[in-house]
């Protein structure tokens, strides 16, 4: 026997094929794969809203009358007081269908993401139901807490006019409740409306 015959041939190391997941591991992986689309779908526009970046709005610019949907009116006085008429609840409170009226205070909160107008209802004068609301005030009374607080985002529309808005309902939907200045009586829209009314 030659010295070379006693030696064994070197073995080549090759990776083994991966073993299929065991049934105990397959079920959690399957659940994770099923839940992944749901987890990703829960992140709506409101959750990612980083503010308008609007800064430098003055009390003089924000003071005055504002109108919104279904008869909402807001009067911001230069002294920091406010008159509120039929303003819907913010975020999920909107789904309750109630609207608040009364007096309150307002101020700016300047954040890195943009200015906000903080409105506190300090004295409620009435509560009613939004037209078309599915929840009745008897089953969904307005909040007992006082003051009720709204946080309006500030932005400018296409004509560079200041607008106030807050998000309502499901955050995934990104719905906004917008308040704008009333149309001036001499605007084309207001003149057209007056012609129809007469």
Tokens 């030659």 map to which residue? Answer: 2
Query: Is there a contact between 123 and 103 (Cβ–Cβ < 8 Å)?
Result: yes
Residue 39 within a domain:
no
Q: Establish if 23 belongs to a structural domain.
A: no
Residue 149 belongs to a domain with what CATH number? Answer: 2.40.128
What's the pLDDT at 95? Answer: 87
For residue 23, what is the enclosing H or E element? helix 23-41
Can you tell me the mean pLDDT for 130-137? 70
Residue 73 lies in a domain: yes
Cα separation, 151 vs 9, whole angstroms: 79
Q: Does 90 map to a domain?
A: yes
Mean pLDDT of 4-22: 53
Q: Give residue 137's domain range.
A: 59-193
Overall domain count for the chain: 1
- What is the pLDDT at residue 75? 97
Q: Is 37 exposed, middle or buried (0-12, 13-18, 19+ CB in 10 A)?
A: exposed
- The answer to whether position 4 is within a domain reads no
Is residue 26 assigned to a domain? no
What is the rounded distance in angstroms from the CA atom of residue 154 to the CA atom of residue 179? 10
pLDDT at position 45: 46
Q: Is residue 140 part of a domain?
A: yes
Is 198 a domain residue?
A: no
Q: What is the pLDDT of residues 85-130, one digit of tens each?
A: 999 998 888 888 889 999 999 999 999 999 999 999 999 999 888 8
Q: Which of 124, 111, 2, 108 is nearest to 62 (CA)?
A: 108
- What pLDDT does 186 receive? 54
The SS3 call for residue 29 is helix
Most confidently modeled of 48-62, 69-83, 148-162?
69-83
Confidence of residue 173 (pLDDT cuts 50, 70, 90): confident
Q: Positive or negative, the Cα torsion across 81, 100, 71, 45?
A: positive
Select, from the ranges 20-29, 95-104, 164-173, the one with the highest average predicted confidence (pLDDT). Answer: 95-104
Are 148 and 130 spatial neighbours (Cβ–Cβ below 8 Å)?
Answer: no
Give percent of the chain with pLDDT exceeding 70. 62
Three-state DSSP state, 94: helix
Cβ–Cβ < 8 Å for 127, 87: no
- Specify the pairing of strand 81-88 against strand 98-111: antiparallel
């Amino acid at each position: 026997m030659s010295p070379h015959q006693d030696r064994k041939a070197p073995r080549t190391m090759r990776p083994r094929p991966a073993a299929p997941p065991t049934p105990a591991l397959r079920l959690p992986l399957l659940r994770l794969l099923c839940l992944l689309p749901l987890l990703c779908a829960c992140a709506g526009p409101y959750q990612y809203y980083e503010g308008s970046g609007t800064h430098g709005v003055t009390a003089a610019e924000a003071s005055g009358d504002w109108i919104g949907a279904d008869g909402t009116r807001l009067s911001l006085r230069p002294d920091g007081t406010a008159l509120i008429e039929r303003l819907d609840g913010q975020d999920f409170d909107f789904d309750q269908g109630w609207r608040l009226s009364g007096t309150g205070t307002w101020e700016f909160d300047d954040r890195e993401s943009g200015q906000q107008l903080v409105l506190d209802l300090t004295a409620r004068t009435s509560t009613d139901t939004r037209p078309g609301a599915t929840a009745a005030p008897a089953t969904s009374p307005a909040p007992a807490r006082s003051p009720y607080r709204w946080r309006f985002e500030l932005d400018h529309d296409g004509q560079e006019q200041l607008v106030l808005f807050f998000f309502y309902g499901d955050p995934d939907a990104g719905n906004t409740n917008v308040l704008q200045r009333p149309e001036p009586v001499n605007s084309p829209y207001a003149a057209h409306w007056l012609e129809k009314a007469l």
